[in-house]
Structure 1
Amino acid sequence: MIQIRRYSPLDHDDVWRIHLLVISEANVEPTHQHYHDILNIPEQYLHTGGEFLVGIGDNGVVFAMGGLKIISEGKAEIKRLRVHPSFQKKGYGQLILSKLELRAQELGIQHLILDTLSNQYGAQKLFEKNGYKQQGPAIIDGFNVVLYEKKLA
């Protein structure tokens, strides 16, 4: 069972732990400066009109997360979609993504973008299944990524 709710500063340690686990599995240095936003979720997401959700198990521990970062009027980015490795491939990433897309629509967002590491094939499959169109490879802060975009109705 999963409860999805808005991030609270009390979730900080759990969110950081999940980030470290997921990014380490992708063979990336998880403390790279590229990830500064995850240390400042209220300022980077919530105070700027976006959203950051966490998924919590029956034991009260956060095991999934994802953010919606406003870029400009009508445009936002899905960021930091992560599921603890022990809980992957159970539909939790899909649940967080769906809730973030719903929130984007509520905020009047018509255009979503995101990127994922080029070696995160599960994430790529999830995004493509949800209608995100691949925009090609890119290098962001030294990381090989795949760019995606989706137009919302």
Structure 2
Amino acid sequence: MLPSVRRVTERDVPLVIRLHHAALAAAGAHAGPGPWDDDLEDVAGAYLDAGGEFLVATAGPVVVGMGALRPVDAVTAEVKRMRVLPRWQGRGVGRAIGEALLLRARQLGFGRLVLDTTAQQKAAAGLYTSLGFERTGAAVVAGLPSVLFAREITPAQP
């Protein structure tokens, strides 16, 4: 059974932070704690109040996955913080979050999504490709070699 996907709440924040560190450590992609994680201390301010979104996938009281949208400009949003607990990976949680974020991006009026993932996260890259994202380049993000992706979407009509 797939977990349910919903908007994050303040009560979820400690679970979101734990999930973030656990998923990155398991993937060998954790740059360690630093200012690049400050957005997780203020999810509402960094995402929701900024015109974006932050979703969690829950199985009972446990947050097993998460993903967010952060506006870049009026047309573009960045997919951020896509994480799934290691024991839940490969069970459709990432796809459910990705599809929910695509829908929400359309509802918010975005026409383009961008994202990055570390080069060693091959499963994540495969998920993004299966969701219609195309590789657009490479960069070093938070000290880690990363792959850049983008996808055009059709915004919902008001």
User: TM-score normalized by structure 1?
Assistant: 0.95
Range with greater deviation from structure 2 (43-52 or 135-144): 135-144
What does residue range 42-53 of structure 1 map to in structure 2 within 5 Å? 42-53=44-55
Structure 2: runs of 5+ lacking an equivalent: none
Once superposed, what is the RMSD of the aligned Cα atoms?
Answer: 1.1
Structure 1: runs of 5+ lacking an equivalent: none
Number of the residue aligned with 1:138: 139
- Whole-angstrom distance in 2 between the partners of 1:35 and 1:144: 18
State the Cα deviation string for residues 77-120 of structure 1 (Å, max 9, x = none): 10001110010000110000100010000111000000001110
Amino acid at match of 1:55: A
Instruction: Give, in angstroms, the shift of residue 130 of structure 1.
Output: 1.2
Q: Is the Cα–Cα contact under 8 Å of residues 19 and 30 in structure 1 kept in the other structure? A: no
Amino acid at match of 1:74: V
- Whole-angstrom distance in 2 between the partners of 1:74 and 1:134: 19
Number of the residue aligned with 1:111: 112
Instruction: Give, in angstroms, the shift of residue 33 of structure 1.
Output: 2.2
**Partner of 2:68: helix, strand, or coil?**
strand
- Whole-angstrom distance in 2 between the partners of 1:26 and 1:55: 19
Instruction: Give, in angstroms, the shift of residue 135 of structure 1.
Output: 0.9
**Partner of 2:72: helix, strand, or coil?**
strand
Number of the residue aligned with 2:17: 16
Higher relative contact order, chain-length normalized (CA < 8 Å, sep 6+): 2
Q: Is the Cα–Cα contact under 8 Å of residues 23 and 30 in structure 1 kept in the other structure? A: no
Runs in 1 of length 4+ with deviation above 4 angstroms?
none
Amino acid at match of 1:60: P
1:89 corresponds to 2:90? yes
Query: Which one of the candidate residues 37, 40, 56 is aligned to 1:38?
Result: 40
1:25 corresponds to 2:26? yes
**Partner of 1:72: helix, strand, or coil?**
coil
Number of the residue aligned with 1:80: 81
Amino acid at match of 2:49: H
User: TM-score normalized by structure 2?
Assistant: 0.92
Amino acid at match of 1:43: G
1:4 corresponds to 2:5? yes
Amino acid at match of 1:102: L
Q: How many aligned residue pairs are there?
A: 152
Q: Is the Cα–Cα contact under 8 Å of residues 37 and 44 in structure 1 kept in the other structure? A: yes
Q: Is the Cα–Cα contact under 8 Å of residues 117 and 146 in structure 1 kept in the other structure? A: yes
Number of the residue aligned with 1:148: 149
